[in-house]
């Protein structure tokens, strides 16, 4: 666990447009445990499709929403599609094993605020000039029950999600993938 600023990321409570230019200091194992103590599930993102993209995403139930926090690094600057995919299987080199978008309500692809969208459509994240994304948003998801996202996966894409084109918003290759596991 030398890649992530776990404690710093999870402590960050406001949306920050400015990310550190360098990789944050490595978190020690005890710090990581403390940082994750309040979260219920997490996904460690591993590079896919020949990328160097990695990251750590945490999910915590807050009422009927899930607070998504964490960090993604080594992205190309700009927008990238971010989705929850239906299978918690990141084993294939291109992450095709993660299957399509998590879509328990059988809708068409969209964005988080469009009328029609997959439950797993988290929209775009925007990487800074140093290729970093800090996540901090609430989405209508659940960590329990029949539509739980536990056992699904988080996938980051090479390109921008157009938030409309079925089935995946033309967002390109899957450059990082991580199974969502209970803490
Ligand atoms: Cu995706
Ligand atoms: Zn979708």
The pLDDT, as a whole number, for residue 183 is 85
Picking from 183, 136, 137, the residue whose alpha carbon sits closest to that of residue 12 is 136
State the CATH number of the domain containing residue 95. Answer: 2.60.40.200
In a domain, 117, yes or no: yes
State in Å: Cα 155 to ligand 2 middle. Answer: 11
Q: Which two tokens stand for residue 70?
A: 């964490």
- Count of Cβ atoms closer than 10 Å to residue 97 Cβ: 17
Ligand number with the minimum distance to the CA of 118: 2
In a domain, 50, yes or no: yes
State in Å: Cα 22 to ligand 1 middle. Answer: 27
Q: Where does residue 19 rank: exposed (0-12), middle (13-18), buried (19+ CB within 10 A)?
A: buried
User: What is the reported pTM?
Assistant: 0.79
Count of structural domains within the chain: 1
In a domain, 18, yes or no: no
List residues, by chain if needed, whose CB lies under 5 Å from ion ligand 1: 83, 155
In a domain, 8, yes or no: no
In a domain, 5, yes or no: no
In a domain, 9, yes or no: no
State in Å: Cα 85 to ligand 2 middle. Answer: 8
Range of the domain at 165: 31-182
For 165-180, how does the pLDDT look when each residue is reduced to its tens digit (9 = 90+)?
999 999 999 999 999 9
Phi, psi of 2 (to 5 degrees): -105, -5
State in Å: Cα 121 to ligand 2 middle. Answer: 5
In a domain, 20, yes or no: no
**DSSP 8-state code for residue 125:** E
The pLDDT, as a whole number, for residue 29 is 54
């Amino acid at each position: 666990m030398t890649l992530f600023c776990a404690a710093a990321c999870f402590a960050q409570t406001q949306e920050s447009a400015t990310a550190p230019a360098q990789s944050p200091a490595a978190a020690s194992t005890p710090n990581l445990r403390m940082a994750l103590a309040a979260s219920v599930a997490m996904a460690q993102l591993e590079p896919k499709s020949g990328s160097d993209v990695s990251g750590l995403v945490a999910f915590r139930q807050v009422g009927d929403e899930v607070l998504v926090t964490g960090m993604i690094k080594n992205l190309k600057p700009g927008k990238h599609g971010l989705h929850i995919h239906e299978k918690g299987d990141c084993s294939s080199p291109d992450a095709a094993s993660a299957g399509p978008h998590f879509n328990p309500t059988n809708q068409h692809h969209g964005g988080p605020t469009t009328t029609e969208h997959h439950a797993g459509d988290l929209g775009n994240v925007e990487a800074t000039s140093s290729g970093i994304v800090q996540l901090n948003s609430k989405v209508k998801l659940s960590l329990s029950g029949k539509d739980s996202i536990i056992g699904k996966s988080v996938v980051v894409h090479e390109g921008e999600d157009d938030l409309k084109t079925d089935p995946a918003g033309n967002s390109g290759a899957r450059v990082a993938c991580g199974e969502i596991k209970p803490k």
